[in-house]
Structure 1
Amino acid sequence: MESLEIAQRTAQREWTVDGIPVLTAELNLPQPVGEGRGFRRLCRYYEQFGRSYLRYCERFLFPQAAEAYRDALSASAPLPACTASLTHRITWNGDGVLSLFTDSCESCGTRPLRVRRGDTWDLNTFLPVSLADCFPPRCNYRKRVQDHAAGCIETQLAAQTSVYREDWRRALRRGFNRENFYLSSEGLCIFYQMFVLAPPMEGIPVFCLPYGEDGPFSHPRRG
């Protein structure tokens, strides 16, 4: 299978205290369109992802929002607007591969916190593609990725277009997560979560390695 038809799965929830909304959550996740075991597996995966996120909102974010609401009432302060969202962006859908990332974002009167997750799927097996699959066998892909990211950071610092931690080289190694990647038309994109490499105003740093014969591949290895 070369590509997937993707619909949108959306949902909205609201939690209240004394009849007053204190937390709202919105979901927008992919919903593959088709028949067969692989389609059902992928649909269940994102259905479960959405349910898990709403449980997280109810068990962890709602108590925080309720406490912030009561504190604001006690202090006669403006009521905080607490929100949570889980959205997605498809970055590659073709050549037998589906790749995307999801962003969960939460805010309760403070700077929003965003957490990203990357998913890449082999459409022939409907199984996940790993970062190692995108490079030749026995390739030290971790070093390849980190060297490229270091070069990008040095260029940005020299041009004064971004701000990074003083110990960014150490953080680049320690904060590396082989799950944090997706494929795009620009290449294989590696990302680091907020706070790992840079202050929160920089968001989520992303470094894209162009495709090449020595990797990364736009057609990941299979088997």
Structure 2
Amino acid sequence: MPTILTQLSTEPLTAERTWTVEEIPVLTASVSLPTPAEGASGAAARRIRRYYQLQSRAFLRYCQRWLLPEAEAEYRAALTASAPLPQLRAELSYQVTYNEGGLWSLYTQSRERGADGRTLLTRRGDTWDLASGYPVPLAAFFPRRCGWKKALLAAAEAEIRRREAAGAARWNEDWRRSLRRRFNPENFYLTGDGLAFFYPMYALAPAASGIPVFTLPYGAGGPALPVRETPEETAAPPAR
């Protein structure tokens, strides 16, 4: 019987590229994404390795297609104004947040400077089933027909009101409407404390707040981690 993978050991997959204009560096992009550690085999390891290899290449293509023209324009404007030459930088990194019981969860996050000079953060959540080698959808952590979206939105609204009352954060005036309109069921990851779901930067709050993240604890009325059978549990009972 094949071994059921309960955890995934990974190491960073790194890459860096610098673009120049007239032999002057104007843009540097760096990537650090996970890849299964040397010796990891099986369908899950192959799919995960391939997935983040493609994400790395896609990010570098994005930098070349969209950020490089902006960097070149800033370079030429600086030359005209006899100002210091800019060198823009874009980064893509990751953080593993859960790695137990056959579930491997993380988020990847890019950081770049926008045309207006402000930093833009973009986050993406991934949760993998190590037994099948495929991503797990958000709905899988809730009972059927339980109204999980309503529960998540209610938890986010309660947390926003709590932070408002404590004076711990500022929110956009239309955050109530954006809470529902900007909700994306793909924007989540698991943590040891509960299921974390998040919104894009600027969707609910000013830039200083970064990416708004809310966590719904596991347990009654909340998300539940799937119970996975061990090989001993799935084996046939001994003959009598």
TM-score range, shorter chain: over 0.9
Q: 1:23 aligns with which of 17, 24, 27?
A: 27
Q: 1:219 aligns with which of 219, 226, 229?
A: 226
Task: For residue 31 of structure 1, give the secondary structure of its aligned residue in structure 2.
Answer: strand
Q: Indicate conservation of the 8 Å contact 2:101/2:228, yes or no.
A: no
Tell me if 1:87 matches 2:93: yes
In structure 2, what is the Cα distance between the partners aligned to 1:66 and 1:60? 11
Aligned to 1:97: 103
Aligned alpha-carbon RMSD (Å):
1.5
Q: 1:169 aligns with which of 176, 181, 191?
A: 176
Matches within 5 A, 1:6-155: 6-33=10-37, 34-107=40-113, 110-155=117-162
Task: For residue 54 of structure 2, give the secondary structure of its aligned residue in structure 1.
Answer: helix
Task: For residue 52 of structure 2, give the secondary structure of its aligned residue in structure 1.
Answer: helix
Task: For residue 121 of structure 1, give the secondary structure of its aligned residue in structure 2.
Answer: strand
- Change in Cα spacing, 1:220 to 1:65, as seen in structure 2 (3 Å) is farther
Matches within 5 A, 1:177-196: 177-196=184-203
Q: Indicate conservation of the 8 Å contact 1:136/1:214, yes or no.
A: no
- Change in Cα spacing, 1:190 to 1:135, as seen in structure 2 (3 Å) is same
**AA in 1 matched with 2:58:** S
- Change in Cα spacing, 1:221 to 1:106, as seen in structure 2 (3 Å) is farther
In structure 1, what is the Cα distance between the partners aligned to 2:158 and 2:15? 41
**AA in 2 matched with 1:30:** P
Q: Indicate conservation of the 8 Å contact 1:133/1:220, yes or no.
A: no
**AA in 2 matched with 1:72:** A
TM-score by length of 2: 0.89
Q: Indicate conservation of the 8 Å contact 1:38/1:126, yes or no.
A: yes
Task: For residue 198 of structure 1, give the secondary structure of its aligned residue in structure 2.
Answer: coil
In structure 2, what is the Cα distance between the partners aligned to 1:130 and 1:215? 15
Which ranges in structure 2 are unaligned for 5 or more consecutive residues?
230-240
Which ranges in structure 1 are unaligned for 5 or more consecutive residues?
none
